[in-house]
Structure 1
Amino acid sequence: MSLGIVPWRAAWQALGAAPGDGLHAELLARYAEPHRAYHTRQHLAECLALFDEHRLLAQRPAEVELALWFHDAVYDVHRHDNEAASAAWARTALLDGGAAPEVADRVATLVLATRHSVAPATSDEQLLVDVDLAILGAAPARFAEYEGQIRAEYSFVPPTVFAEKRGAILAGFLARPVLFGTQALQARFEAAARANLQQAIAAQG
């Protein structure tokens, strides 16, 4: 799926709502901010394309799709409320666009699920989280690019500190019993993700 205006509008229409003027362009501008290296339009496009392949698994596909659009709308490595701020923006935008309050609340909750701090509570949350984490199971070249992009976003962190912190984060993922809870994505990405994580942890020294 592209980042074009047509699928964007279709998702809103499916929810009986309409996006505010300039919202699509504003989101694309956010994903193109110069301090971003991974959380960019590339990541957003990859997420939307993967979701489109598995759209039929979603209970409320338009809600998941819009949650993906907003999930990294606010991103600054120096703050700790990116997901909360992104979720709040999504909720406000949906309410302003005429979406039902319960729809706006569900989309905001989906965005919050990308904090990856608690287990997803619904199948749609699980699908969204799995799509967001699919980069872990990417082909080796793309995964290496991803690791470089994350390092670029934290270029201000000294190498030894980054290696320690990054290694701990990657080890935390590797320690999970399963990385992907959606059966189709688990079959597709789990083994590759574990191999990528093991290699990346070793590279951190």
Structure 2
Amino acid sequence: MHSTDAAAHPRYDALLAEWCDLLVRCRVRAADPAGPDQPAEGGGPDPRPYGEELLGRWAEPQRRYHTLDHLVAVLSRATELTAYAADPDTVALAAWFHDVVYRPDRSENEERSAALAERALREAGVGEARVAEVARLVRLTLTHDPAEGDRDGEVLCDADLAVLAGDPAEYAAYAAAVREEYGFVPDEDFRAGRADILRRLLALPRLFRTPYGHDRWEDVARRNLGTELELLEA
């Protein structure tokens, strides 16, 4: 953890407060095994250390794009898309965990992030059904291809991909930050790998599954992806 780096972020205190409120809302108290989960009524572990651990992970030094700013952006976009979510709080928990484990030289980041969510949320008092759904949503960000009718998956994936619809300067900064994260990869190998990712995204029938995301972001994102792909292949 690099909690000192995290605490220097201008939104650190607000994010920590947001996390604490979210976790308290999502906890359950012991209930009849045959009955539904019940909202928590006080008690449970202090949510603050969990939030500090998460924020510290998001501030690790190997990150250039998958940073606290990315977490802020995804949480903000998920809020923007709240009307389309079946369970906005579960989407928010998944946003907090979706890149919490991030090593650019590893391929199992989503799986490790999901596993961490399962361990931490169970320990923190979140009900088993919600824990399983958070983990499922985190794993879904590997493909960004939710099934038809998966409302929470659609919201999380749209929020995560919204960066693709930035203006030219914002998109260039995003692409440059991704390249920095993979600074250990030779240029030729990076271009080939990145081009494969862009082609996979462009091959999706829809990048954005919510009506809001599709209407506002789809065309711009496809134009940005196509431009980057042309530059990589030049």
What TM-score do you get using the length of structure 2 for normalisation? 0.82
Report the equivalent of 2:26: 15
Report the equivalent of 2:3: none
Q: Does 1:72 align with 2:99?
A: yes
Report the equivalent of 2:206: 178
How far apart, CA to CA, are the structure 1 residues paired with 2:65 and 2:152? 24
Give the alignment's Cα RMSD to 1 decimal. 1.6
Runs of 5+ unmatched residues, structure 2:
1-10, 29-43
How many residues matched?
204
Task: Pick from 59, 63, 69 the counterpart of residue 42 of structure 1.
Answer: 69
After TM superposition, what 4+ stretches of structure 1 lie above 4 angstroms from structure 2?
17-21
Task: Pick from 133, 153, 161 the counterpart of residue 133 of structure 1.
Answer: 161
* CA shift for structure 1 position 27: 1.0
Aligned residues of 1:20 and 1:93 also touching (Cα < 8 A): no
How far apart, CA to CA, are the structure 1 residues paired with 2:79 and 2:98? 16
* CA shift for structure 1 position 104: 0.7
Distance 1:21 1:5, change over 3 A: closer
Task: Pick from 136, 145, 157 the counterpart of residue 185 of structure 2.
Answer: 157
Runs of 5+ unmatched residues, structure 1:
none
Aligned residues of 1:113 and 1:120 also touching (Cα < 8 A): no
* CA shift for structure 1 position 154: 0.7
* CA shift for structure 1 position 63: 0.6
How far apart, CA to CA, are the structure 2 residues paired with 1:152 and 1:136? 17
How far apart, CA to CA, are the structure 1 residues paired with 2:105 and 2:182? 9
Q: Which amino acid aligns with 2:105?
A: H
Q: Which amino acid aligns with 2:84?
A: L
What TM-score do you get using the length of structure 1 for normalisation? 0.93
Instruction: After superposing the two structures, state which structure 1 stretch, 53-62 or 30-39, moved more.
Output: 53-62
Q: Does 1:4 align with 2:32?
A: no
Q: Which amino acid aligns with 1:177?
A: P
Report the equivalent of 1:106: 133
Report the equivalent of 1:96: 123
Q: Which amino acid aligns with 1:110?
A: L
Q: Does 1:188 align with 2:200?
A: no
* CA shift for structure 1 position 119: 3.4
How far apart, CA to CA, are the structure 1 residues paired with 2:84 and 2:144? 23
Q: Max radius of gyration: which structure? A: 2
Q: Which amino acid aligns with 1:171?
A: R
* CA shift for structure 1 position 21: 4.5
Any idea what SS the aligned residue of 1:151 has? Answer: helix
Report the equivalent of 2:56: 29
Aligned residues of 1:5 and 1:24 also touching (Cα < 8 A): yes
Report the equivalent of 1:86: 113
Report the equivalent of 1:142: 170
Instruction: After superposing the two structures, state which structure 1 stretch, 154-163 or 114-123, moved more.
Output: 114-123
* CA shift for structure 1 position 76: 0.4
Aligned residues of 2:208 and 2:218 also touching (Cα < 8 A): yes
Q: Deviations over 1:153-202 (max 9, x none)?
A: 11111111111111121112112221111111111100000110111011
How far apart, CA to CA, are the structure 1 residues paired with 2:147 and 2:168? 27
Aligned residues of 1:20 and 1:96 also touching (Cα < 8 A): no
How far apart, CA to CA, are the structure 2 residues paired with 1:183 and 1:41? 27
Percent identity between the aligned chains?
Answer: 37
Any idea what SS the aligned residue of 1:145 has? Answer: helix
How far apart, CA to CA, are the structure 2 residues paired with 1:182 and 1:146? 23
